[in-house]
Amino acid sequence: MKILVLNCGSSSLKYQLFDMDGESVLAKGLVERIGIAGSRVKHNKGNADAVVRETDIADHTAAIKIVLDLLLDGSTGVLKSLDELSAVGHRVVHGGEKNDRSVLVSDKVIRDIEECIYLAPLHNPANLMGIRAMQTALPNVPNVAVFDTAFHQTMPPKAYLYGIPYKYYEEDKVRRYSFHGTSHAFVSARAADILGRPIESLRLITCHLGNGSSLAAIQGGRSIDSSLGMGTTPGVLMGTRCGDVDISVVLYLMDKVGNVGKVSDILHKESGLLGISGVSSDLRDVEEAAAKGNVRAELAADILCTSVKKYIASYAAVMGGVDAIVFTAGIGENSDVTRREVTKGLEYMGVKLDAAKNTGLHGKEAIISADDSPVKILVVPTNEELMIARDTERLTK
């Protein structure tokens, strides 16, 4: 069964074509600057070098046509006919409260995604463009929507409600949703496999640390708390997003800057590692500057690690303990320094890192806790695309 996975942004489209027999990636690529001058597509067939084509791409429908042509082309392609394509899985950022799992796209599902646009104004419209473009290009191929929010819909009200008048929840569904659900679901299931224990018996804390970051408390395979919120700024320090800040800071900035859009830009695009360090939003640059003695870069990395540590301890408290801590995404998978600093000082709760196993480990699955550590520490590379492909296969087989 061949499944195409699409992740559409407002001016971009990432894709991967899976052969589900063996779960291999046949081709993948990225279309950039859709609707903007300088559009281009970068396509990889298997492990071959990328092919880059620069051509005008007016909209997502045009982008999808180019992708399908590349998949069929004699030199870049991996399909003889589009009939080989069994289904398309779409990453959809917000499913609201109605969607607690992946679904086969129908008119009603499209209306539900539209209804959530006010909760994800940048992402849901782009995700819908991808779905509609695919429906136009291949009307007989089923589409599946896989929501970033769905996995966290198991959070209880005590975790998802904010301490504001209840009517805002009732009338406007103002609440914590959190995101990266597909990643948290993937790495928690994989961690249980690696540990050889049923996920139902485990208390896990998954740390998805990348440009955007979130932690989740996962008890018995269900997300019971997660650090992003109604939006994508709360929780731990991120590349350019602020993490938890006191509302007074927001009100102060509103007063000082006097413009909602500008304050939103400050908190989403100018804060985090970039805002503190003044160097970069990329942790590699920040770590490099810190190593050369840049005090603000050192501080930014320190704030990131401390914020992650605080969430780990609070989620352990909520679950009455923790069996394993799982690191994933760009930082979690690659930064041994971050993993070391985050776990340092948590020995009191049974977290003992094995320095030798941790040091130099990049992007590979491993248990990095000491053999006698009561709490296991794991690195599990995330694979949201594969998770989307699996859900798509399950719902369309």
Q: How far is the CB of 88 from ligand AMP (least distance, A)?
A: 24
What is the binding site for ligand AMP (CB under 6 A)?
A: 210-211, 239, 282-284, 287, 329-331, 334-335, 362
Q: Which is nearer to ligand AMP, 99 or 335 (CB)?
A: 335
| Both structure tokens of 154 | 């198991």
Paired strand residues for 207: 215, 327
Kindly report the CA angle at 147 between 146 and 152, in degrees rounded to 5? 130
Q: How far is the CB of 75 from ligand AMP (least distance, A)?
A: 30
Q: How far is the CB of 284 from ligand AMP (least distance, A)?
A: 4
Q: Phi and psi at residue 43, in whole multiples of 5°?
A: -125, 135
Q: Which is nearer to ligand AMP, 70 or 242 (CB)?
A: 242
Helices (H) and strands (E) in the chain, counts: 15, 14
Residue whose CB is nearest to ligand AMP in the complex, by number: 330
- Catalytic annotation on 148? yes
Pairs from 161-167 (Cβ < 8 Å, separation ≥ 24): 162/229, 162/230
Q: How far is the CB of 44 from ligand AMP (least distance, A)?
A: 17
Q: How far is the CB of 356 from ligand AMP (least distance, A)?
A: 18
Q: Which one-letter DSSP state was computed for residue 150?
A: G
- Which residue bears the tokens 């559409």? 8
Q: Which is nearer to ligand AMP, 143 or 343 (CB)?
A: 343
Kindly report the CA angle at 360 between 351 and 350, in degrees rounded to 5? 5
Residue at 328: amino acid letter: T
CA 293, 296, 299, 304 torsion: positive or negative?
Answer: negative
Q: Which is nearer to ligand AMP, 128 or 380 (CB)?
A: 380
| Both structure tokens of 394 | 């399950």
Q: Which one-letter DSSP state was computed for residue 49?
A: P
* Active-site pick, 19, 56, 112, 148: 148
Q: Annotated catalytic sites, by residue? A: 148
